[in-house]
Structure 1
Amino acid sequence: MTQPPTDDGPERPSPEPHVPEESDHADHADHDGRDGEDDVPEDVRKYERFKKIDGAQYDRANQFLRDRTYITAREWAIARLCSDFRTETGVEMTKIGENLPELVPFMEDTYTPQAVNQARSAFEAKVRKAGATFLYGAMCDFFTAEELDDIMYETTEVAKFLLEVEGVDLSVEQELEAEERISSVMREVRKASSELREEDAETNASDD
């Protein structure tokens, strides 16, 4: 039963097993020291990325990333936020952490600056390892030129999908230009690697 309102403030529900979801959110905001939308920075309120995915889709997004990349949905989201909320003095990690649920619909909890930095560092480390792994595979002649093209196409499609989920609108011309630039770089890498291996083989032969 709900108690009648008093002069001291709005009515409060009496202790009962069921509490409406709105009360849960309000209590959480009070505990965080957040009284309402007025406390949310303007650039956070205007942030439009990740609007295509909500909390109910978090598990699907996480599984998609785990199947196709080394990163998790948490690392993906925070990496993008660190890119978007970077100033001349560095990344606004406190702002990102305190406003995480407002910035990314599928993130339900706030983060400390340390937790934001941890996810950011994890993303960077995984990208570096993945890059080194891929480049070695391209340089060691394990893949044919056609196989490398297939890999580049697949990875480009995954990257494009993630950008589209973030709200980035790529034109066909931009997609084709990006794919051609990447393919051109990989052809140069493969060519330089082949020349390097040939030089090494000639050097070893002359030493013998």
Structure 2
Amino acid sequence: MDEDGLDASRFEGDDAESDRDPKPEPAGTADEDGDGGSMPGVPDPDPQDDDVPEDVQKYARFTKMDGAQYDRVNEFLRDRTYITAREWAIARLCSDFRTETGVEMTKIGENLPELVPFMTDTYSPQAVNQARASFEEKVRTAGATFLYGAMCDFFTAEELDDVMYEATEVAKFLLEVEGVDLSVEEELEAEERISTVMREVREASEELRTEDLAESEE
């Protein structure tokens, strides 16, 4: 796909491998279920899948990952992010299967192998919730780490631009693999929001350093 090798085909292998995350609990029944909403879909679901909910049959995320191995996906993410393949998949599913009354965790857990090609086991609602919480915690921790690095004068402005470029490319690749179709306008808007935040971080960092110098001179 590009010079960094961000291509979904890198996840494929000769033999399917099992999910290497800790074994989830057997699928349960209690969750935050609500009425299902519309899912990104494909036409004509297989009539033989009578036991699979219709919105699960129509779910079209991760179709570019058909044939992908969990370990390869996990390795890719480990090299570039804090999250695991399990956390990535479940975070997306929790976003897509969110209703007015909550997240359909039972549906996600019971149909996980049908929803995500590289996931091979069903999960209990508790295991889904645990993965979702882990994803959220890691995002917050990574955000704090990045902002500290940006504000502590360790990186130059040019180096921070490089960090943001690399992070943006990885994020865009993951969205593309999920099947998110970002328009040029949406991509430019996201980049502008990031640039605005970065300018504010730099300005705040410079103000802090100026105040610190003034205090030390006094």
| TM-score normalized by the length of structure 1 | 0.78
- Structure 1: 5+ residue runs without aligned partners? 1-31
Measured in 2, the distance between the counterparts of 1:100 and 1:151 equals 33
Partner of 2:91: 79
Aligned length: 172
- What pairs up with 1:24-173 in 2 under 5 angstroms? 37-173=49-185
- Is it true that 1:176 corresponds to 2:188 in the alignment? yes
- Structure 2: 5+ residue runs without aligned partners? 1-26, 28-47
Partner of 2:198: 186
Measured in 1, the distance between the counterparts of 2:151 and 2:114 equals 43
Measured in 1, the distance between the counterparts of 2:216 and 2:100 equals 51
Measured in 2, the distance between the counterparts of 1:44 and 1:205 equals 65
Tell me which stretches of 4 or more aligned residues in structure 1 moved more than 6 Å. Answer: none
Percent same amino acid at aligned positions? 84
Measured in 1, the distance between the counterparts of 2:202 and 2:118 equals 40
Structure with a larger share of its residues in helix = 1
Q: Structure 2: which amino acid aligns with 1:67? A: D
Query: 1:131 is paired with a residue of what secondary structure?
Result: helix
RCO greater where, 1 or 2, for CA within 8 Å and sep 6 or more?
2
Partner of 2:211: 199
Measured in 1, the distance between the counterparts of 2:183 and 2:154 equals 34
Measured in 2, the distance between the counterparts of 1:157 and 1:56 equals 21
| TM-score normalized by the length of structure 2 | 0.74
Query: 1:38 is paired with a residue of what secondary structure?
Result: coil
